[in-house]
Amino acid sequence: MSLFDWFANLRKNEPPVQKRQEREIADGLWTKCSVCSAVAYTKDLKNNQFVCLECGHHTRVNSDERIEQLVDKETWQPIGEDIRPTDPLAFSDRKSYSDRLKDYQAKTGLTDAVKTGTGLIEGLPIALGVMDFRFMGGSMGSVVGEKLCRLIETATDQSFPVVIICASGGARMQEGMLSLMQMAKISGALHRHQEHKLLYIPVLTHPTTGGVTASFAMLGDIILAEPKATIGFAGRRVIEQTLREKLPEDFQTSEYLLQHGFVDEIIPRTQLKKILAQLISLHQPISK
Amino acid sequence: MPKTERRNFLLDFEKPLCELEARIQQIRELADENQVDVSEEIAQLEARANVLRQEIFSSLTPAQRLQLARHPRRPSTLDYIQAITEEWIELHGDRGGSDDPALVGGIARLNGKPVVMLGHQKGRDTKDNVARNFGMATPGGYRKALRLMNHANKFGMPIVTFIDTPGAWAGVDAEKLGQGEAIAYNLRQMFSYDVPIITTVIGEGGSGGALGIGVADHLFMFEHSVYTVASPEACAAILWKDAKKSGQAASALKITSRDLKELGLIDRILTEPASGAHSEPLEAAATLKQNLRESIEKLSAMTPEARRKLRYSKFRQMGIFEQGEIS
Ligand SMILES: [Zn+2]
């Protein structure tokens, strides 16, 4: 079977998109799509993994929802949940970093911008990292670096594949060079994982930019992306400023990266679990 | 460097010192013409100049250090390579369709032994800077560096890299050719090498574009160089919503060699000549050479395994966080 047939088959086998039903309107029960303006019953939207039932627009999902979508029920075991950020530089711009951290922690219920743990995906063990854009734009500081390193090291020890769902604006400037060095630190952990001939699949979601793109997002054995995500190294505005010209519409999208050879396939969210499980199963060591 | 030429690139904080130096020169000339002995006065003025120099360069603000790090007369990668090596052959190309003049490299003989040297290359003047793209490398530059580092590893040569860039190039072509992938790949690959790796920040260390050749066993910074996660200008624009706050951002980001030594992110600060590396480039080069020699000797005495372990644990411990139950 060609790769093309393989993906075509998957699409065919995909459960049909649920039809929206007429329901009584109640506050908060309905969600309007920001792209096509279709109004969907929030529960239906959730059942469709927050992909618009009309136009297929992938709205943002938080780390808890993502884990629920990907990991088999009652198999999730978090790693490093008690690791918390500090304010190592006593950084303050218009607001102090400590205050910002407290605000985001209160608002999101998260400690920092990534959740890590192990679990099963259709019965197969994985080490999974899920970045959460709600926490300071998914920016990468010491905690993101440390949690991802521990995740990757656990995977290396236990011979697990690693999957990281990327969503990040890049480095966390409030931690200065400590933040930049996390790029090297995580790449080092991935090097050890790779030396053990273990599988690593990053999944690039909207947006994946800056230091995350220039480190673990681009180091997959296989790299997947969600449709129409923004993926790039330099910010679009920075490039526009240096060149003083408008950029093409599809510049730095998943589709653009696919076209230029930097992602392997674009996978709609509703098929992600299945594809990941299939890829992992294709890389299981052949029993002798 | 002739004093007149230096005046053309004078930074604000260098001015009082330069004026004093000019006055000393003037008095000397006058005295010569009129055959008067002014050696006592000259000695006094020179002592004052020394104190002033000491005062200025020991109390530079981070923003002033950034100016020094970007000084157009600051020695560049090729300047240092030419000053410290016995032999040097530059090699070109990424074997993928490009040769980036903003990131140069080749094989050198240093203290009698072959090494691979590479680094960002800024231009010497405006024209040269345009050709060198101000030291902002493209994916082709990072892939050239990768190819040269693979070469070093194959032939057992130590890798010596020099960081001097405002950042990786942000352009349409760079994105199309995978700027992120090129840097990421280098970061991971540098952990695999058996040979010693020594990186020195010689001027400006800008973000991922700097780190892309900076995963080293020993990481040095020249005293007045800077290393930063984002340029203070960009940081000010994003966090302060005001690009004019770049001085504040430069302080807050902790970008100086002293700050980064305190944070445990660099191994050693290389002392610069009293008025900065650009005032006495050969003196700066001698310091660099001495430190590279010691470092290569020390690292060469280790097994490849031990070096890789050192490199891993060095970066593994970078990061500051809390752990445990909230008390
Ligand atoms: Zn829609």
Dist CA A144 CA A57 (whole Å): 28
DSSP state of A284: S
Give the per-residue pLDDT at A20: 43
Cβ–Cβ contact B187 with A under 8 A: yes
**Nearest chain A Cα distance for residue B58, angstroms:** 22
Shortest CB distance from A233 goes to which of B179, B311, B323? B179
In this prediction, residue B4 carries a pLDDT of: 45
Instruction: Please report whether residue A287 resides in a domain.
Output: no
Q: Which residues are within 8 A (CB) of A84 and not within 5 positions of it... i.e. 6 or more apart?
A: A111, A112, A143, B321, B322, B323, B326
Non-local (6+) Cβ contacts of B66 within 8 A are B204, B226, B232, B250, B255
pLDDT given for residue A23 in this prediction: 38
Quickly tell me which residue has 């790693």 as its tokens.
A79
Q: Which residues of A touch B326 (CB under 8 A)?
A: 84
| B178/A184 Cβ within 8 A | no
All residues at 6 or more sequence positions from B216 whose CB lies less than 8 Å from its CB, including other chains: B161, B190, B197, B198, B199, B311
Q: How far is B3 from chain A (nearest CA, A)?
A: 35
At A44, which amino acid appears? D
Question: Does B316 contact chain A (CB < 8 Å)?
Answer: yes
Residue listed under structure tokens 């060198």: B132
The residue to which tokens 């930049």 are assigned: A180
Calculate how far, in angstroms, residue A40's C-alpha sits from the geometric centre of ligand 1: 9
Residue with tokens 């959740």: A115
The predicted structure's pLDDT at residue B125: 86
Interface predicted TM-score of the whole assembly (ipTM), two decimals? 0.94
Given this model, what pLDDT does residue B227 score?
A: 98
- Indicate if A251 and A186 belong to the same structural domain: yes
Chain B residues touching residue A261 (CB < 8 angstroms): 178
Q: What pLDDT sits at residue B3?
A: 47
pLDDT of residue A18: 43
A249: in domain: yes
Read off the pTM. Answer: 0.92
Residues A209 and A68 in one domain: yes
The CATH number linked to A182 is: 3.90.226.10
User: A198 and A138, same structural domain?
Assistant: yes
How many Cβ atoms from other residues are within 10 Å of residue A145's Cβ?
Answer: 29
Within 8 A of B232 by CB-CB distance, chain A residues are none
Q: Do A188 and B234 touch (CB under 8 A)?
A: no
Q: Are residues A18 and A93 in the same domain?
A: no
Q: How many CB atoms lie within 10 A of CB A12?
A: 8
Residue A22 is predicted with a pLDDT of 39
User: Quick check: is A198 in a domain?
Assistant: yes
Q: Are B63 and B247 in contact (CB under 8 A)?
A: yes
Residue where a domain stops, chosen among A15, A31, A59: A59
Q: Is residue A288 part of a domain?
A: no
Residues of A in contact with B234 (CB under 8 A): 238
Q: Using an 8 Å CB-CB cutoff, list chain B residues near A98.
A: none
Regarding beta strands B103-110 and B113-120, do their DSSP bridges make them parallel or antiparallel, or are they unpaired? antiparallel
According to the model, what pLDDT value does residue A246 have? 79
User: Do B166 and B135 meet the contact criterion of CB atoms below 8 Å apart?
Assistant: yes
Structure tokens at A23: 């329901």
Residue indicated by tokens 């930019």:
A209
What's residue B327's pLDDT? 59
pLDDT the model gives residue A245: 73
B322 touches chain A (CB under 8 A): yes
- Residue B172 at interface with chain A, using a CB cutoff of 8 Å: yes
Min distance B310 CA to chain A CA atoms (Å) = 12
> Same domain for A55 and A150?
no
**Domain match, A189 and A264 both:** yes
**Inter-chain contact A171–B229, Cβ cutoff 8 Å?**
yes
Beta-strand relationship, B268-270 and B218-222: parallel
Angle subtended by helix axes A269-282 and A3-13, to nearest 10: 130
Last residue of a domain, one of A18, A37, A59: A59
Cα distances (angstroms) measured from residue B135 to each of B100, B222, B250, B264: 10, 18, 20, 27
Side chain identity, residue B73: R
| B132 touches B123 (CB < 8 A) | yes
User: Are A49 and A164 within one domain?
Assistant: no
Instruction: Tell how far the Cα of A256 is from the centroid of ligand 1, in angstroms.
Output: 21
**Domain presence at residue A159:** yes
| Mutation target vs B (from A94, A136, A166, A173; most B CBs, 10 A cutoff) | A173
- Residues of chain B in contact with residue A80, where contact means CB-CB under 8 angstroms, are 323
B127 touching A (Cβ < 8 Å): no
Q: What range does the domain containing A16 cover?
A: 1-59
Identify the helix (H) or strand (E) that includes residue B68. helix B62-69
Q: Which two tokens stand for residue A63?
A: 């780390």
**Domains in chain A, number:** 2
Rounded to the nearest angstrom, the distance between the alpha carbon of B110 and the centre of ligand 1 is 63
Structural domain contains residue A6: yes
Cα nearest neighbour of B316 on chain A:
A185
**Per the CB < 8 Å rule, is B260 touching A177?**
yes
Residue A116 lies inside a defined structural domain of this protein = yes
CA of A31 to the centre of ligand 1 (A): 10
Cα dihedral angle (B53, B55, B60, B66), rounded to 10 degrees? 10
Using CA atoms, how far residue A245 sits from A237, A242, B179, B234, in Å, is: 10, 8, 20, 19
* Same-domain status, A71 and A212: yes
Cα(B58) to ligand 1 centroid in Å equals 60
- Closest partner residue to B319 (CB to CB) among A142, A211, A238 is A142
A2 in any annotated domain:
yes
The DSSP line for B169-185 is: --SHHHHHTTHHHHHHH
Q: Tell whether A160 and A180 lie within a shared domain.
A: yes
Dist. CA A42 → ligand 1 center (Å): 13
Give the sign of the dihedral formed by CA B106, CA B110, CA B112, CA B113.
negative
Please work out, in degrees rounded to the nearest 5, the angle formed at the alpha carbon of residue A233 by the alpha carbons of B170 and B161.
75
Task: Give the tokens for residue B111.
Answer: 């203290």
Query: For residue A29, how far is its CA from the centre of ligand 1 (angstroms)?
Result: 16
Instruction: Tell me the binding residues of A for Zn(2+).
Output: 33, 36, 52, 55
Shared domain for A83 and A48, answered yes or no, is no
Instruction: Give binding residues of A as ranges.
Output: 33, 36, 52, 55
Check if B212 contacts A (Cβ < 8 Å): yes
How many secondary structure helices (H) and strands (E) does chain B include?
15, 9
Same domain, A146 and A261: yes
Q: Which of B315, B317, B325, B327 is most worth mutating to test chain A (most A CB atoms within 10 A of its CB)?
A: B315
Chain B hits for A175, Cβ within 8 Å: 229, 320
CB A164 within 8 A of CB A202: yes
Q: For residue A245, which amino acid is it?
A: E
Q: Nearest by CB to B252, which of A92, A214, A233?
A: A92
Kindly list the averaged pLDDT for each block of 10 residues, start to end, along chain B of length 327: 56 90 90 87 91 91 93 96 98 96 98 98 91 97 98 98 97 95 98 98 97 98 97 92 93 97 98 93 98 98 98 98 83
Nearest to B11 by CA among B289, B213, B278: B278
Backbone φ and ψ of A247, nearest 5°: -100, 155
- Strands A30-32 and A39-41, by their bridges, are antiparallel
CB of B123 within 8 Å of a chain A CB? The answer is no
pLDDT value, residue A9: 58
Pairwise CA distance, residues A142 & A146, whole Å = 6
Residue ending a domain, choose from A59, A78, A96: A59
pLDDT recorded at residue A240: 83
> Percent helix, strand and coil across chain B, each rounded to 5?
50, 15, 30
Q: Are residues A35 and A91 in the same domain?
A: no
B225 neighbors B257 (Cβ within 8 angstroms)? yes
The residues, ordered by sequence, that sit 6+ positions from B316 with a Cβ below 8 Å of its Cβ are A149, A185, A188, A189
> By CA distance, what is A191's nearest residue in B?
B188
Contact B324 A89 (CB under 8 A): no
Beta-bridged to residue A202, according to DSSP, are A164
Chain A residues in contact with B254 by the CB 8 A cut-off are: 89, 176-177
Residue B205: closest CA among B162, B164, B246:
B164
pLDDT (tens place) for every residue of chain A, 288 residues total: 565 565 555 555 554 444 444 334 445 789 999 999 999 999 999 999 999 999 999 999 999 999 999 999 999 999 999 999 999 999 999 899 999 999 999 999 999 999 999 999 999 999 999 999 999 999 999 999 999 999 999 999 999 999 999 999 999 999 999 999 999 999 999 999 999 999 999 999 999 999 999 999 999 999 999 999 999 999 888 888 777 777 888 999 999 999 999 999 999 999 999 999 999 999 987 654
Question: What is the identity of the amino acid at A97?
Answer: Y
Give which of A97, A111, A166, A177 to mutate to test B binding, by max B Cβ within 10 Å.
A177
Count of CB atoms situated within 10 Å of the CB of B57 = 22
